[in-house]
Structure 1
Amino acid sequence: MERFDEQSWDSLKSSPFYEILREYKDVLPDNIPAELPQDKGVQHEIDFVPGTKYCVTRQWPLPQEQVKAIDDFFESRRKAGQVRESKSPHSAPTFCVKKAQDGRRIVHAYNKLNDATVPAQTSIPRKDVIIDSMALSTIFSALDLRDGFYQILIRESDIPLTAVSTPSGMLWDWLVMSQGLNNSPATFNRCVTHLLRSVRDFASS
C-alpha cells in the first residue's frame, strides 16, 4: 500500500475511470476507521491439534527503541479497538524487524501456537492460473486492502489464543486477525473469495 500513499486524485484525472472513482470515493477511504471491522461472513478460526493445552513462550528483552515502537503500536491498535488487555494463559513474544523502507514491522513469535494449530485446507490460487484466467480480457484492475488482515475478525472463542506479550510487561489479545498466525493467508483468501463470489465471472481472487 505504501507505493500508493503519494498518489493524489489530481494524478488520476486523465484516467477514463476518474468520475467513477470519485463517485465511490467513500469505498476507498484514506484512513481505516478506528473501530472493529464489520463481520464479513468469514472469521479467522484456530483449531488445536487434539491434546494441546497451553502455548507459552516467554518474552525476551529488547532495546529501548524497539520497546517504544511496540508500545506505540499497541496503543494505536487499542484506540482502534483491535486489541484488548488480556488475562489469557497463552502468550507469544513480540519483537521488531526493520522494513525495507522506513519504520519497523511488529512481529509475534507464534511458533508454538502455529505448531499446535490444525492447518487449513483452503487452497491459495496460483499466480499462473490467475494470469491464464485473464486471457482475452481488455480491462484490468487491482485492489490492495490497507491492513487487510486487520479487517477480519477472530472467532470469539479463539481470541485468548492470540495473546501476545510485550517487553514492557503487557499482555494483549487480538480481536482481529494478526500477522503471523498459521492460517491467516488461507483465511484472507477465503474472505476475498467469499466477498467476490457474486462477481467471479470478471473478478478473479
Structure 2
Amino acid sequence: MKEVPPIKKSKEAQPKKALTMCQFENESMKTKVIFALMAREVEEFKEQDKEYPTNVRKILDDFSDLWPVELPNQLPSMRDIQHAIDLIPGASLPNLPAYKMNPTKHDELKRQVDELLTKGFIRESLSPYRVPALLTPKDGSWQMCVDSHAINKITIKYRFPITRLDDMLDMMIGSVIFSKINLRSRIIKYVLDQGMNGRHLSKLRMDCMSGFVVSSKGVETNLEKIKAIVDWLVPTNIHEVQSFHGMATFYRRFIRNFSSIMAPITECMKLGLFIWTKAADKAFEEIKSKMVNLPILHLLGFEKVFEVACDASHVGIGAVLN
C-alpha cells in the first residue's frame, strides 16, 4: 500500500496573525482594552540607565560628582602627603619575569597599558624591581591586575593604635555637625581653595558610629542593633549566654545598675558550666525590656564641676562621674 501523503492546510485555513487597518479599528470599537506590541530600536545600555531604588538613586544623584562617566585624562595635583611603600632595609628586591600569555591576551594587555600611558595614570620606569601584570576575566572583559605578593613580603608592616570609642565620643562635645575632616584636620591637609572652605558640610549624612547615633542631643543607641537583643531567644548553652552577655554589655552605659541586673546571667558562665536559673531568666527578660526604651546620654561638658559617685554590693562595684 502506498503511503498517504499528509494533508496540507491551505493558507485560508491558517489563523491570521496580522490585522488590516479596518479590522484593527473594528476590534478597538468592540473591546475596551487593547494591548499593542510596538518595536523600536534598542539603544546601547548605559550604566546610568540602570534602575535603582529611590533612596539609592537620591544618593547617587547627590554625589554624582564623585563618580563621573569617564575619568579625566590626568592625575590630580600634587598633595602635601604622597603615598610611599616603605621596604624592609636590606631585603632582596623582586625582579620577576612576565607571565606567559597567548597573543590575544598580550595585545589586550598592551592596549590597556598604552591607554594608561596616554592618560598619564602611569609612566615608564627604570625601577630596580619588577612584578608582573596579568589579565583576569570580569563582566565579559579583561581586567589588568598586578601580582604584588613579592612586594608585600618585603613591605614594612606599620602598626597604628586604635582610638578608644569613649575618647572619640568626648571629642564631639558641643558639636552639631560632624565630619571626619573636622576630626582629622590636624593630621591630613586638604588642598581646597578659599571658596570651598566648609562646602563639605552640605554633603554630610547622619550615620552610626560603632553602634551609636551621635547628634547635638547626645548619644543614643542604634535601633537596628537593639532589635537583635530584644528578639534574642532564651539561651540554651553557654556560648549563647556569652554572646548575649557581650552584646548587652556593649550598651551597659544606657542601663542603670546594669551589673547588678546582669549578675544572675554572669553566674551562669562561671566554671564553664551552663546552669540557667529562674533568676537568670528574670534578668534576661528585664535586660530585654529595658533595651526598648533606652535614654539619650548627654555628652560630658568639661567646663562643669564633676562629682564621683561610688557604690558597691555583694555582686557589683562601680563609680560614675556626675
TM-score (norm 1): 0.48
Taking CA–CA contacts closer than 8 Å with sequence separation of 6 or more, which of the two structures ends up with the larger relative contact order? 1
Q: Which has the larger radius of gyration?
A: 2
